[in-house]
Amino acid sequence: MNINIAVLPGDGIGPEIIEQALKVTEAVCNKFGHTLSYRKGLVGACAIDATGNPYPDETHALCMESDAVLFGAVGDLRYDNNPNAKVRPEQGLLAMRKKLGLYANIRPVTTFKSLIEKSPLRRDIVEGTDFMCIRELTGGLYFGRPQGRSEDGNTAYDTCVYTREEVERIVKLAYEYAMKRRKKVTVVDKANVLATSRLWREVAKEIAAQYPQIETEFMFVDNAAMRLIQWPSSFDVMVTENMFGDILTDEGSVITGSLGLLPSASVGVHTSLFEPIHGSWPQAAGKNIANPLATILSAAMMFEYSFGLMEEGRLIREAVDASMDANICTADIQSQGAEPYGTKEVGEWIVNYINNK
């Protein structure tokens, strides 16, 4: 099979973790006889430096011509807490989501047996956690208009907007995933306060009636945040709007013990994008200390979701599990007292595992 992808390393640790994910992708393609072709594009702060635009037209054209996008992270300390910045790296990510029609972010949250003790929660609470959060990605407060501040700067406003069509497509996607899993959907909203949430709940009830074999529960977002800590294994598929999903998925990721472990997929109208859930961590750039596993697991999702190559994805997951079992880990997940490995060394170990399997 021809594997044609766009590669967007981005900022901070992005280039380092993407480098390792690419090496793993190349190893898998060689192993299974696939032809890999890829081109790199600019996004984020590096794109602003080069073009003035955090998501240049050339990068968008590259993504549109590709079967999938492998993405690192965006963000730069020069733009943090800088109210005078007219354009920001994160605007490139939002523009990419909107222009590519990436309306659904899919984040699996699972625990790794070898890292249970790294979780801030007790073993008996987190053990067996395996759920998927499906977050709406192109609507809500992050894209609502009007948005801005008053002339004197003392008042700021954002607008949360959702249409029936936007809610229908994301909720239907959640039910389709639940059909392949444990047949339970949790719809998270704030319908006791927000008009947009009442639309979400109304539409979700209509769609739930089309899937009588699936258990549906409706949960306010504050309750969902508590349940994630008290009983995370009770979730199967969680679906929610953009901002709630942003917050809850980051909370859920901590259950695993490290932000450096969780991949994600953003699917939509034109192509799909695969990225780790963590940020660009600019303070660590170039130090060879970033955990590449989430990005490598994002490559596994790419093989599975974009190309239907399930065996290839399984081999990558197996190699990642084997690396942790062998304590080939970066500092964030390394066992106490053991010497941590660098980003490159972890990637090389996984490539060798794939080559020798």
- Nearest alpha carbon to residue 346 among 315, 314, 313, 324: 324
Q: Is 99 an active-site residue? A: no
Q: Is 152 an active-site residue? A: no
Show the CA angle centred on residue 231, arms to residues 227 and 235, nearest 5°. 80
Of 11, 118, 190, 236, the catalytic one is 190
Q: Is 142 an active-site residue? A: yes
Q: Is 189 an active-site residue? A: no
What's the chain look like in SS3? CEEEEEEEEECCCHHHHHHHHHHHHHHHHHHHCCEEEEEECCCCHHHHHHHCCCCCHHHHHHHHCCCEEEEEECCCHHHCCCCCCCCCHHHHHHHHHHHCCCCEEEEEEECCHHHHHHCCCCHHHHCCCEEEEEEECCCCCCCCCCCEECCCCCCEECCCCCCHHHHHHHHHHHHHHHHCCCCEEEEEECCCCCHHHHHHHHHHHHHHCCCCCCEEEEEEHHHHHHHHHHCHHHCCEEEECHHHHHHHHHHHHHCCCCHHHCEEEEECCCCEEEEECCCCCHHHCCCCCCCCHHHHHHHHHHHHHHHCCHHHHHHHHHHHHHHHHCCCCCCCCCCCCCCCCCHHHHHHHHHHHHHHC
Phi, psi values for residue 219, rounded to 5°: -140, 130
Of 49, 130, 250, 321, the catalytic one is 250
Q: 287 CB contacts (<8 Å, ≥6 apart)?
A: none
Of 222, 287, 325, 357, the catalytic one is 222
Of 79, 142, 162, 353, the catalytic one is 142
Of 246, 305, 321, 344, the catalytic one is 246
Tokens of 280: 């660009």
Residues carrying an active site annotation: 142, 190, 222, 246, 250
